[in-house]
A = this chain, B = another copy of it.
Amino acid sequence: MTTDTALNISDGDPVLGTDFAVEMVRQMRAVDAYGTYDSWPAARILDPFVLTKEQKREIPVVGDPDEIVMSRVKAFYNAIAALIEKECGLMAVPTINLTHEGFGRALITVGKLVVMDKTLRDVHRFSFPTLSKMKDEADKVLSVALEIVGEYPKVAGM
């Protein structure tokens, strides 16, 4: 722990060295207009994505997602899109559509192919129990996306 308040991700977490975590940090820094994160280690930048059961329970069940939570949701799907792009060499475009009270839809498209289509719920509580579980979720989306692209390369290339 490098900061006063305890983090849910430790600096030595091996997941921090993976392509996914590196891309996540890059996405978070990209929207850090004031350079707040410049001096922060990766663990601290990604820490808000991880909430323990107790921390999550403290957030009201019903609520509107604020800009900060939304920027995290976007960073997560942007990172996945970036990894898809890296793997298949085709542009992957994320689209997030929120309706009301944190419900919505997240899409990633490659050409004319929808490679991910997720219903979003409780966006204001968007989080993962551990960094490792967050990476698992991203890996799952990534592998399904690459499978679909492999199956329909013509549609992905449109």
Contacts and interface: CB of A to CB of B under 8 A. Distances in A.
Nearest to A110: B114
Contacts of A113: 112-114, 155
A107 to B, nearest CB: 6
Query: How many protomers of this protein does the assembly include?
Result: 2
Interface residues of A, number: 17
A84 to B, nearest CB: 14
Interface string A105-116: 101010111110
Interface in A125-154: 148, 152, 154
A71 interface: no
19 contacts: A93-B105, A95-B95, A95-B97, A95-B105, A95-B107, A96-B97, A97-B97, A107-B107, A107-B109, A109-B117, A111-B114, A112-B114, A112-B115, A112-B148, A113-B114, A113-B155, A114-B114, A152-B152, A152-B155
Interface of A: 93, 95-97, 105, 107, 109, 111-115, 117, 148, 152, 154-155
